[in-house]
Amino acid sequence: MSKRPFVTTEKRNRRSKNIDRLPTRDLVRLINSEDRLVAPAVGRESKALAAAVDRIVEQMRQGGRLFYVGAGTSGRLGVLDASECPPTFGTDPRLVQGIIAGGRRALVRSIEGAEDHPEEGAAAMDRKKVSPRDAVVGIAACGLTPYVRGALRRARQIGAATIFITCAPETADSAAAEIVINPVVGPEVVTGSTRMKAGTATKLVLNTLTTAAMIRLGKVYGNLMVDLKATNEKLRDRSIRIVMELTDLSRPAARRLLKKASGKVKPAIVMHFRKVDQIKAMTILDRCNQSLRQAIQEDI
């Protein structure tokens, strides 16, 4: 007998049983009241989240990569989070990667049958040449997705760090993962529509994993994204404002400094405080494991 009817994400929400009969304003209020359950559920997983962040950082410091693996909404959220790391934190696109059942086509069109094959999840790990230095995060709202479970089993066999994200407490302990993150948000407003609360919880979890990991890796100074890649006008303006904020330089002076630093915020700030050229600034940053705080405070 299928386990799905007994999984929280597939159960019927008693509070929304008659949602189709509500006036629009009450309908919207009901959806919002259910959404308010998400953040506290993620907050209750802070211990597991912290453990996962530390494990990911440990792997990355060994030269490893982070892979998200999911199907449907879960897969799309993983790809989204991975794609936002290079512009935000200046990472190589290969450092954080999203893998979705069904491949790139599944990003824009539902290919639901692709999630039913555990061997395809395992094959994806082999195609990506996952190694013991890497971290693999499996994402499955219901916890049962065969593609994700197959990927995690293969990653575990290889010796990679493994993390599992699910919103179903009934399946949380059955996956082949070292760390389980299980925000329990309850049944969805529309039964089984895990793009709603479960999707929101997943987005919050992924935001936390990569943001906290990048902070630990020195890609943030205070709360400023000092490793951003200025690939458009908005980010170029933000780069100038960050340099102004940290150096007290005028806007024209900050712009000139950034130009000397090839548009890179971190070296520009080191150049300012240490009175060195870009090459020397990069050497100092490498010596300090890319920690800007250490680079501008260490004894010359």
Residues catalogued as catalytic: 84, 115
Question: Do 146 and 78 meet the contact criterion of CB atoms below 8 Å apart?
Answer: no
DSSP state, 231? Answer: -
154 phi, psi to nearest 5 deg: -65, -40
Render 159-220 in DSSP notation, one character per residue: T-EEEEE-S-TTTGGGSS-SEEE-----S-SSTT-TTTHHHHHHHHHHHHHHHHHHHHTT--
Residue 261 token pair? 């630093």
Residue 230 token pair? 């200025």
CA distance to 2, 3, 131, 141, 170, per residue, from 10 (Å): 12, 10, 35, 10, 11
Q: How remote is the C-alpha of 129 from its chain's centroid? A: 21
Three-state DSSP at 275 gives coil
Rounded CA-CA distance 199/237 in Å is: 32
Name the residue with tokens 């993150």. 181
Rounded CA-CA distance 300/289 in Å is: 16
Q: Which residues fall within 8 angstroms of residue 193, CB to CB, at 6 or more apart?
A: none
